[in-house]
C-alpha cells in the first residue's frame, strides 16, 4: 500500500540502494575522509556552480539545526514563519543545541516576506533582545507553496544589507527546482542563499541530508559543529554513495518530476468533487484540501495522511517518487464510495 502521509513513507530508489552495495568493498577511511565522500562533495559543487562546503548528516533536523547553529551566537535569533519545520517540527532542537531563539511570525501560506522581517529589526543593538541574525525560509514551504527566484533574491539582498544570513530549508528542494523549471544553481547559488539544508531522503534516498555552505565567509568550523551535533557518521561512504547516485538527473529529477506530476494529478482529481476545496494552487507534491469530517474519517480507514486542522477539515496529501496514478485513483475511489453511500 502506498501512503500519502509524507514522502518519507516510501522506500529507496533502486539506483541509490545499488550504489550503497557497491561501496561495500573491503576497508575505507572513516568519518568522511574516503574517496566516495570526496566525489560526492565535488558533485555538489558541480550542481551548484561553485565550490561549496558540504557536510552530510542523518536527518533533516540535523541539517537545519547544525547549519543554523554555525551562524549563531546564543544571543542571536533565527527569523522564520510560524509553520517552519525548525519552529514546530524539531522538538526545540535549535534552541537546545545553539541556545538561540527562533522569532516566528504568524503566517498563512508558509512564505516569509520582507515586510514580516522589517519590524523585527527595530531591536538591533538593544541588549534586552535576541538579535535577528539569520532569516530561514523553506523551499518548498511546509504549506506546499513556493518562493519565486526573484523573491529569494530579494530576501537574500535584504538579509545581507542588514548584516544577516539567508538559510534555506530544502527538505523538498528537488520538487521546487522541478516545479519552477530551474536549476539548483539558479535557485540557490545565483539568488544569494548563504546556507542550504539539502534534502534527499524525501525524494528517494535512504538517509540523505546535507548542509551546503555557499558563502565562503561562513564559519570554517562546521566539522566541529557536526561532530558536536552527534552527526559524524563513521561509515560515511554509505551516505556519500547514496548522494552520488541520487545527484544524477535520472534520479533526483525524475523522482521529483513524478511526485510533482502525481501532485497535479491528485489536485485535478480532487477538483472533480464540488464539496472538496483546495487550499491554494499547489505546484509540487503536497496537496492541502478541505473536506467534510465524515469523508476524512472514511478515508482514514484505508489511507494514511495527516489531518492538519480537525476543525477546519484541512488535510495534507503528499505524493512520493513512486506514487502512481493507480494509487491516486484508489484514493479517489474512496471518496466516490463515501459520497455514493452517503
Q: 229 to 268, contacts with its own copies by CB under 8 A? A: 229-235, 238
DSSP letters, 222-277, are HHHHHHHTT---TTTHHHHHHHHHHTSHHHHHHHHHHHHHHHHHHHHHHTT-TT-E
Cβ atoms 128, 100 nearer than 8 A:
no
Q: Rounded distance, CA 220 to CA 70, Å?
A: 9
Nearer to its own copies, 99 or 294 (CB): 99
Restricted to residues 46-105, the positions that interact with its own copies (CB under 8 A) are 57-62, 65-66, 69, 73-75, 77, 88-93, 95-102
How far apart CA 114 and CA 157 sit, in angstroms, is 10
Provide the b/e sequence for 158-169 (b: ≥16 CB within 10 Å): bbeeeebbbbbb
Complex with its own copies: residue 190 or 204, whichever CB lies closer: 204
Q: In the complex with its own copies, which residue's Cβ is closer, 144 or 204?
A: 204
Minimum CB–partner distance for residue 252 and its own copies (Å): 17
Count of residues engaged in binding its own copies, rule: CB under 8 A: 78
Q: State in angstroms the smallest separation of the CB of 92 from its own copies.
A: 4
Neighbour count for residue 42 (Cβ, 10 Å)? 14
Q: Which is nearer to its own copies, 66 or 188 (CB)?
A: 66
Shortest separation between residue 342's beta carbon and its own copies, angstroms = 28
Grid coordinates in use for 314? 484541512
The residue (of 156 and 287) whose beta carbon lies closer to its own copies is 287
Cα-to-chain-centroid distance, residue 27 = 33
Nearer to its own copies, 58 or 278 (CB): 58
d(CA 153, CA 164): 14
38 binds its own copies (CB under 8 A): no
293-312 residues in contact with its own copies (CB under 8 A) are 304
Binders of its own copies in range 106-145 (CB under 8 A): 106, 127-131
- How many Å apart are CA 123 and CA 293, to the nearest integer? 45
199: three-class secondary structure by DSSP? strand
The nearest distance, CB 161 to its own copies, in angstroms, is 20
Euclidean distance between CA atoms 312 and 307, whole angstroms: 10
Decide whether 146 or 241 has the Cβ nearer to its own copies.
241
Radius of gyration of the chain (CA): 20
> What's the closest the beta carbon of residue 283 comes to its own copies, in angstroms?
23
List binders of its own copies among 160-219 (CB under 8 A).
Answer: 201-202, 206-207
**Least distance to its own copies, CB of residue 101, Å:** 4
Task: Give min distance, CB of 186 to its own copies, in A.
Answer: 28
Amino acid at each position: 500500500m502506498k501512503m500519502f502521509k509524507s514522502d518519507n513513507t516510501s522506500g529507496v530508489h533502486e539506483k541509490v540502494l545499488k550504489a550503497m552495495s557497491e561501496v561495500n568493498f573491503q576497508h575505507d577511511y572513516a568519518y568522511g575522509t574516503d574517496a566516495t565522500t570526496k566525489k560526492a562533495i565535488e558533485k555538489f559543487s558541480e550542481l551548484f556552480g561553485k565550490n561549496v562546503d558540504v557536510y552530510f548528516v542523518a536527518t533533516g533536523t540535523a541539517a537545519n539545526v547544525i547549519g543554523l547553529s554555525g551562524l549563531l551566537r546564543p544571543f542571536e535569533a533565527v527569523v522564520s514563519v510560524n509553520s517552519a519545520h525548525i519552529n514546530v517540527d524539531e522538538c526545540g532542537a535549535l534552541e537546545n543545541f545553539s541556545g538561540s531563539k527562533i522569532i516566528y511570525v504568524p503566517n498563512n501560506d508558509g512564505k516569509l516576506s520582507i515586510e514580516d522581517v522589517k519590524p523585527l529589526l527595530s531591536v538591533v543593538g538593544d541588549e534586552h533582545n535576541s538579535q535577528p541574525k539569520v532569516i530561514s525560509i523553506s523551499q518548498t514551504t511546509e504549506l506546499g507553496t513556493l518562493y519565486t527566484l526573484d523573491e529569494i533574491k530579494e530576501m537574500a539582498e535584504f538579509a545581507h544589507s542588514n548584516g544577516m544570513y539567508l538559510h534555506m530549508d530544502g527538505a523538498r528542494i528537488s520538487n521546487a527546482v522541478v516545479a519552477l523549471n530551474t536549476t539548483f544553481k539558479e535557485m540557490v547559488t545565483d539568488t544569494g542563499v548563504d546556507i542550504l539544508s539539502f534534502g534527499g531522503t524525501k525524494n528517494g534516498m535512504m538517509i540523505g541530508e546535507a548542509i551546503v555552505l555557499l558563502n565562503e565567509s561562513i564559519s570554517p568550523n562546521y566539522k566541529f559543529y557536526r561532530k558536536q551535533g552527534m552527526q559524524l557518521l563513521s561509515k560515511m561512504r554509505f551516505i556519500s554513495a547514496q548522494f552520488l547516485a541520487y545527484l544524477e538527473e535520472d534520479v533526483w529529477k525524475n523522482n521529483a518530476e513524478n511526485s510533482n506530476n502525481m501532485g497535479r494529478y491528485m489536485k485535478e482529481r480532487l477538483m472533480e468533487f464540488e464539496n472538496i476545496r483546495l487550499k491554494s494552487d499547489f505546484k509540487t507534491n503536497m496537496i492541502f484540501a478541505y473536506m467534510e469530517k465524515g469523508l476524512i474519517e472514511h478515508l482514514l480507514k484505508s489511507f494514511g495522511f495527516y489531518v492538519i486542522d480537525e476543525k477546519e477539515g484541512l488535510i495534507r496529501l503528499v505524493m512520493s517518487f513512486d506514487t502512481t496514478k493507480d494509487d491516486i485513483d484508489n484514493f479517489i475511489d474512496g471518496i466516490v464510495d463515501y459520497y455514493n453511500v452517503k
